[in-house]
Amino acid sequence: MHDQRLKDIIPFVTSVDRGSFTAASEQLHVTGSAVSKSVSRLEARLGSQLLERTTRRLTLTDAGQAYYQTCMRILEELAEAESVLAAQRSIPSGRLRLALPSTYGRLCVMPRLIAFCQMHPEVELSLTFSDRFVDVFEEGVDVAVRIGGTDELPASLACRQLGREAMVFCASPAYLAKAGKPDSVEALLQHRAILYERVDGSTKPWQFTTADGHSSWRSVPFRMALGDVDAQVQAVCAGLGVAQMPTWLIHEQLKRGELEIVLPELQPAGLALTLLWPRRKQLLPKVDALLTILGELDIVEPEPGN
């Protein structure tokens, strides 16, 4: 029974793709009668008519359209399974589509991707940089890097957590020399805040770690709110106020002494940084090679010293 199901699927799909039993028979190297009987046998077993037959062409019924989509998905997964089985004797090649957060992707992931391209010249990378939610399956993404938002993942989606953001309060040395270095939450709240503005116009509150280790969010008055993190970094470096930002964003500024961390004891655990990919694609050579280079290398910048 199972063997016959597979035998009948191919003539059905080929007939739909080619538009007639005759064209399908030419591709499959069997008679047109054999193709027609195979489709009729499939319809009898399913108890539904899949094709409307006329002298000119074949047309899918509603039931046929749904069944055709299912068959195509099965055949695509079989093709990918064959690619997985051939992985040991093949090299990474073909198009690989990635979805990356805009700034994090540019600053932290792109250097790794350049190294990946140098190691695997047969791979063609297609990159999307966006901070919106990306549906991996709907948009045909092979691998996605996501900051937060990985709760309740479907079983068909695999993930690997790379680490967590380190969120710090920071300001320029010139600003701190003029305004004073805060030594408490209350003192920090008196400083000029440079906040991140969300797409909906709201500002992102500051997050604190309390004495018992829990997180506390505080909405604070601000001197400036910016909807772009690069502009936020520029404003803080220019001495306009204090901001709370992840260390991966300001790593170079901290290293060069353009910014200084204040009240490190208040630093909260930031959002998780995660790799996502369709589970069925994991052993494809191109996907496996990319997961290796992104997973083994330390993508998350180490927390700078105070």
Residues 6 or more apart in contact with residue 146 via CB below 8 angstroms: 101, 134, 273, 274, 276
* Tokens read off for 258: 């353009």
* Tokens read off for 190: 């008196």
Per-residue model confidence as pLDDT tens for the chain (306 residues)? 456 667 788 999 999 999 899 999 999 999 989 999 999 999 998 999 999 988 778 899 999 999 999 888 888 877 777 766 665 557 888 889 999 999 999 988 999 999 999 999 989 999 999 888 888 888 889 999 988 766 778 888 898 888 888 889 999 999 999 999 999 989 999 999 999 988 888 889 998 887 777 778 888 888 899 999 999 999 999 999 999 999 999 999 999 999 999 999 888 877 888 899 998 888 788 898 899 888 864 544 444 444
Distances in whole angstroms, Cα of residue 237 to Cα of each of 79, 86, 241, 244, 252: 53, 52, 9, 13, 12
H-run or E-run covering 42: helix 32-46
DSSP 8-state class, residue 197: B
The reported pLDDT for the residue numbered 208 is: 87
In the chain the domains, ranked by start, together with CATH numbers, are 2-85 (1.10.10.10), 91-163+271-296 (3.40.190.10), 165-270 (3.40.190.290)
pTM of the model: 0.65
- With beta carbons less than 8 A apart as the criterion, state whether 221 and 193 touch: yes
The reported pLDDT for the residue numbered 299 is: 46
Burial grade of 15 (CB within 10 A; 0-12, 13-18, 19 or more): buried
The reported pLDDT for the residue numbered 173 is: 97
The span from the CA of 67 to the CA of 150, in Å, is: 32
**Residue from 299, 304, 306 nearest 104 by CA:** 299
DSSP 8-state class, residue 20: S
The reported pLDDT for the residue numbered 91 is: 80
The reported pLDDT for the residue numbered 137 is: 86
Q: Is the dihedral of CA 273, 279, 284, 288 positive or negative?
A: positive
The reported pLDDT for the residue numbered 4 is: 65
- With beta carbons less than 8 A apart as the criterion, state whether 74 and 111 touch: no
